[in-house]
Structure formats: C-alpha cells, structure tokens
C-alpha cells in the first residue's frame, strides 16, 4: 500500500508541477477545472445525491459559473457598446464599465470568512459539528461554493502572479503535509480533533507550521536571488505570516472534508487514485488554502509591492 501511494503521489506531483510550469494560463485553468469537476462529482456522492437531474444541475451550474468568471473581461468588453448606447439614449453618464473587471476580487472575502468560520467551529465544537446535518441542498451549495472558489483563485493566482507563486503554494501545502505526518508520528500525543480525524495531532500541526515558516524563508531568499536585491523585512515578514496562516487553514480544510466523510460513513471520497482514495482526498487542504493564499498575495502586492514599483 505504501509503495502504491508513493508511486501515485510521484506521478501526480510530476504532472501537476509540469502543468504549472509549462501550460499557458488558459489551459492550466482548464486542467484545474477538470480536477475540480471530478471533485464535485465526489462531493455529490458524499452528500448522497444520486438523482441524475440534480447532479446535472450541480455540475452544469458549476461549469457555467467557471465560464462566466473566465470570460468576465470579454463580457465587459461586449457590454461597452450596449452601455454607451443606453447612456446616449437616456442622457446619462457612467464610468467605463471595463473598470469593473477587478470586481471579482471581492469574492475572496466570503471565501476567507467561510474558512475562518470553519476553523473556529471545528476548534471550539468538533462534536457538535459532527452531529450537525444540514439539509442536502445547503450541503450541496456549500460544496459548490468552496469548489468554485478554489478553482477561481488557483487559476487567478497562476494568471496574475505567475507559475512561480503557484508552484510555491503547492510546495508549501505538500511540505506542510509531510512535516505534519512525520511530526505527528514522532511526537504526536495530543489529538487535534479526535472525533473527526483521530490521526491528526496538535504536535503534527506544529510541525506543519514550522515547515511553513521554513518554506517562506526559502522563498524570500529565492526572490532576493531572482531580483538581485534583498526583499524588505516587511515583505519577508508578511510572506512568512501568510504561509503560516495558509497552512493553518489548510489543516482545517482537511478536517472539514474528513468531517463530511465521517458523516457519510466513508473513509475516502472516491477510489480514483490508487492508494490515495479520491480527488478530494488529495486536494482538500488546497481547496481551503487557495483563497487564503490568494487574498494574502493580493494584499502584499497591492499594499507593499505595487507602490514601490
């Protein structure tokens, strides 16, 4: 089993890293969309939604939302002559609608707030969360939202901040997972959320957070080498803090999906990946981490880096 897991993980990691570094942004966005849609199918299984019609609506609306977000700037361009004609006909002035292209960035706020709320609820009331069974439509809607957000902000991270920052996020999550596993195995005594995931320990989380700080320090050194000058202590501190927060939230993203699986009475979300279960079993941490990391990078760039340029 361990050998199978290692082989599968190596193949997946090689494929994802190659995609991040080599694929154009549009094709990378498409690849992530396909992965997320497979995860969406698994989410429907976890929600025990078996109706073909309901599944079609769920997947169809998710695809529509992805297309709408991906084509947002083109939609605005198409609306320009329409709005100009209306302004001329009804004698009013309006700001160039193309300036609204950045309005999608605001969608990161509900995503961040959702994962912060999940973290607080699981920390403070894990058993109550385990016993809470929302109506299926609400459960499906939650999955729809978090899956769409993960795709959106991972794709935008790649498009706006490059393959290097996207690769860093992936390496950060992978390094944290590995550190959490070995730290928990070596020193783990205190259960993090025994009712939800008995294998996770507080000591394992500490190991993951240390790994996050180390990854951020390595990133700062790499950026200094790439740009030929040391980055400021403020930017370095923000990158370290962002990495730690991202990993902290990713742990609770993992616990969130573990909670849903435990409610459904299954160990894995699927069996697509030999030795690893389903797609959601592999990307649960990343689903939570993507909007958090994107929000942080956006703020660091807008507040600290952009004015310097």
pLDDT at 99: 57
Q: What is the DSSP letter of 2?
A: H
Q: What is the pLDDT of residues 296-305, one digit of tens each?
A: 999 998 876 5
Q: Examine the pLDDT at 77 and tell me if it is beyond 80.
A: no
Task: Report, as an integer, the average pLDDT of 283-305.
Answer: 90
pLDDT at 93: 58
Provide, rounded to the nearest whole percent, the portion of the chain with pLDDT above 90: 67
pLDDT at 227: 79
Q: How many CB atoms lie within 10 A of CB 4?
A: 12
- Contact by Cβ (8 Å): 147, 287: yes
Domain ranges of the chain: 2-308
Q: Give the DSSP letter string of 159-218.
A: HHHHHHHHHHHHHHHHHHHHHHHHHHHHH--SEEETTTEEEEEHHHHHHHHHHHHHHHHH
Three-state SS across 60-113?
HHHHHHHHHHHCHHHHHHHHHHHHHHHHHHCCCCCCCHHHHHHHHHHHHHHHHH
Q: Is 266 left (phi over 0), alpha (psi -120 to 50) or beta?
A: beta
SS3 277: strand
Task: Report, as an integer, the average pLDDT of 83-91.
Answer: 64
Give this prediction's pTM: 0.91
Residue 192 backbone phi and psi in degrees, to 5:
-80, -50
Residue of higher predicted confidence among 144 and 273: 144
Residue 163 backbone phi and psi in degrees, to 5:
-70, -30
Burial of 135 (0-12, 13-18, 19+ CB in 10 A): exposed
Lowest model confidence (mean pLDDT) among 64-68, 83-87, 226-230, 238-242: 83-87
**What sign has the CA pseudo-torsion 296, 252, 56, 270?**
positive
Q: What is the pLDDT of residues 214-253, one digit of tens each?
A: 999 999 999 888 878 888 888 899 999 999 999 999 999 9
Residue 7 backbone phi and psi in degrees, to 5:
-65, -45
Q: What is the pLDDT of residues 92-133, one digit of tens each?
A: 555 555 556 678 889 999 999 999 999 999 999 989 999 988
pLDDT at 72: 85
pLDDT at 86: 62
Lowest model confidence (mean pLDDT) among 59-63, 230-234, 283-287: 230-234
Q: What's the mean pLDDT when you consider all of the chain?
A: 89
Q: Examine the pLDDT at 161 and tell me if it is beyond 80.
A: yes
Place 204 in a pLDDT band, splitting at 50, 70 and 90. very high
């Amino acid at each position: 089993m361990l050998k199978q897991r290692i082989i599968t993980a190596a193949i997946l990691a090689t494929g994802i890293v190659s995609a991040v570094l080599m694929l154009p942004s549009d094709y990378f966005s498409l690849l992530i969309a396909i992965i997320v849609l497979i995860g969406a199918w698994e989410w429907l299984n976890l929600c025990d939604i078996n109706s073909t019609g309901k599944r079609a609506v769920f997947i169809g609306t998710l695809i529509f939302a992805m297309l709408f977000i991906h084509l947002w700037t083109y939609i605005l361009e198409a609306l320009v002559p329409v709005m100009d004609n209306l302004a001329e006909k009804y004698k009013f002035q309006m700001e160039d609608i193309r300036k609204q292209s950045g309005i999608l960035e605001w969608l990161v706020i509900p995503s961040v707030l959702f994962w912060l709320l999940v973290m607080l609820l699981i920390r403070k009331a894990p058993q109550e969360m385990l016993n809470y069974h929302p109506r299926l439509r609400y459960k499906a809607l939650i999955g729809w939202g978090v899956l769409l957000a993960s795709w959106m902000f991972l794709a935008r991270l790649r498009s706006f901040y490059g393959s290097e920052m996207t690769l860093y996020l992936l390496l950060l999550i992978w390094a944290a997972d590995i550190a959490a596993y070995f730290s928990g195995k070596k020193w783990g005594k205190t259960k993090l959320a025994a009712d939800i995931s008995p294998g996770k320990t507080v000591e394992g989380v500490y190991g993951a957070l240390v790994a996050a700080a180390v990854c951020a320090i390595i990133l700062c050194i790499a950026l200094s080498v790439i740009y030929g000058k040391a980055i400021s202590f403020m930017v370095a501190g923000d990158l370290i803090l962002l990495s730690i927060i991202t990993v902290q939230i990713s742990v609770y993203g993992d616990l969130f999906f573990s909670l849903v699986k435990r409610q459904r009475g299954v160990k894995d979300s699927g069996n697509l990946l030999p030795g690893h279960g389903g797609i959601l079993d592999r990307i649960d941490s990343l689903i939570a981490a993507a909007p958090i990391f994107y929000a942080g990078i956006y703020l660091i760039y807008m507040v600290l880096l952009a004015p310097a340029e």
